[in-house]
Amino acid sequence: MTSLLKKAEETLEKAHAGINPRWYPRYHLAARAGWMNDPNGLVWFDGWYHAFYQHHPYSTKWGPMHWGHARSKDLIHWEHLPVALAPEGPADKDGCFSGSAVVVGDTLALIYTGHKFHGPADTDDNLYQVQCLATSGDGIHFERHGMVIDTPPGLHHFRDPKVWREGEFWYMVVGSRVGDTGQVRLYRSVDLHKWYDEGIFAEAEQGMGYMWECPDFFTLNDRRVLMFSPQGVAAKGYQNRNLFQSGYLLGEWQPGQPFTHDGQFIEIDSGHDFYAPQSFLSPDGRRIVIGWLDMWESPMPEQQDGWAGMLSLPRELTLGDNNRLIMKPVEEVSAMRGSYFPVPAHCLKNQQVFVAADAEAVELILQWNCNESAAEQYGVTLGDGLRVYVDNQAQRLVLERNYLDFSLAGTRSIPLPEGNRLSLRIFIDRSSVEVFVNEGEACLSSRIYPQPGQRDIVLFANSGTAVLKEAGYWSLDK
């Protein structure tokens, strides 16, 4: 272990003992202490799921990036491992930025962005981002091989490589910025060491962002999906309300041919907090995605508690009949279910119905009959800070949070699905909520910060009647 990795471990061991656990997740992955953002290097290797992540072990603020590391047998119970990468070489002296992982025989390979400044760090003119390689035989200790792709001429923002195998070649997509235009660039290799530039893979049209971060490319049902996180997309009505978004383009591609798509960028999660999702394949062939359950420049009250940032539940991706991505929790999360508590109320008329007290880790199931529900608003609350409800006048499903002490207030919403059934699967953790709609047709994920005594779950219907077909919850226990 290098001196910088050893220093990071010693710092984390000491800091972890002092964190305040009031909002620390019960069943989501978070760093032991310090700062966490993008998931990196998601992969199955040697009998384990591995999750790496952007990490600053020395404070709860973003800083020189390391790669934190955890592994799991079941995507739910995570074991923290030593920090995998630290910024300690000429190619990554100012940070080991995001990247991906692939398995080559009995070797795990990490491909990541080396972040460095040639001169003062107060101008992008001195910024250079290159792609680097590190390998491991045991999945824990890594040998660094340095830079494998230099910064292309004229570029400065050039990061977040995602690598996959197709036929006889490895391919890599990298996010980049040219002026105020976001791009994804494509590379090809036979050995992960020497890469050939295949040119621009996709490029932002007017209004689609000045930088495309964290690109990912994969196949579902013979369709090609380019998933990425654009920066600089203006909000319009209910859409693109977060500072940055995450979503996808659906199209066609074959090696040696251009990527063609319909130009319709679709947000993958409609909540306040979801960014930089990365996908990988499970051993049984499922396409699984995990995202950062936070948003840039949003208050993070847990910073006062010694930690910052967490990852979403792992989610399985499939392609629906309407050529939209379906995203629902992986089946493994059901293993956390403890006792089930049904809610006997099936019709609410201008009333509130108590469901559960002090809900820290629950999975709530609600099935509303929309055709028979005429209340102006009906749904569920968690204390006085969170409401998930139907706005019948606007015909939208709304996630509303109000934590004014932390400058967190506002709504995110989606159009009500067609038909009379609205099925909600709501996962509540100590400081997060993830709402899955109609078996994954939509999802809204947000951070929440309930104070003591503000975790009771209550159903409500205002100005009319709301009809439930099913209601209940599971306690969740790892």
Query: Using CA atoms, how far apart are residues 290 and 279, in angstroms rounded to an integer?
Result: 7
Closest C-alpha among 277, 249, 238, 263 to residue 100: 277
Contact (Cβ atoms closer than 8 angstroms) between residue 449 and residue 408:
yes
Q: Position 96: which residue type?
A: C
Contact (Cβ atoms closer than 8 angstroms) between residue 315 and residue 289:
yes
Query: Using CA atoms, how far apart are residues 426 and 433, in angstroms rounded to an integer?
Result: 7
Q: Is 38 a catalytic residue?
A: yes
Give the torsion through C-alpha atoms of 249, 252, 255, 259, to 10 deg: -50
Where does residue 455 fall: left (phi above 0), alpha (psi -120 to 50 degrees), or beta otherwise? alpha
**The token pair that represents 302 in the structure block:** 């847990």
Query: Using CA atoms, how far apart are residues 235 and 134, in angstroms rounded to an integer?
Result: 39
Contact (Cβ atoms closer than 8 angstroms) between residue 68 and residue 83:
yes
Active-site entry in 38, 216, 305, 429: 38
**The token pair that represents 467 in the structure block:** 């009809």
**The token pair that represents 205 in the structure block:** 């049209």
Q: Which residues are catalytic?
A: 38
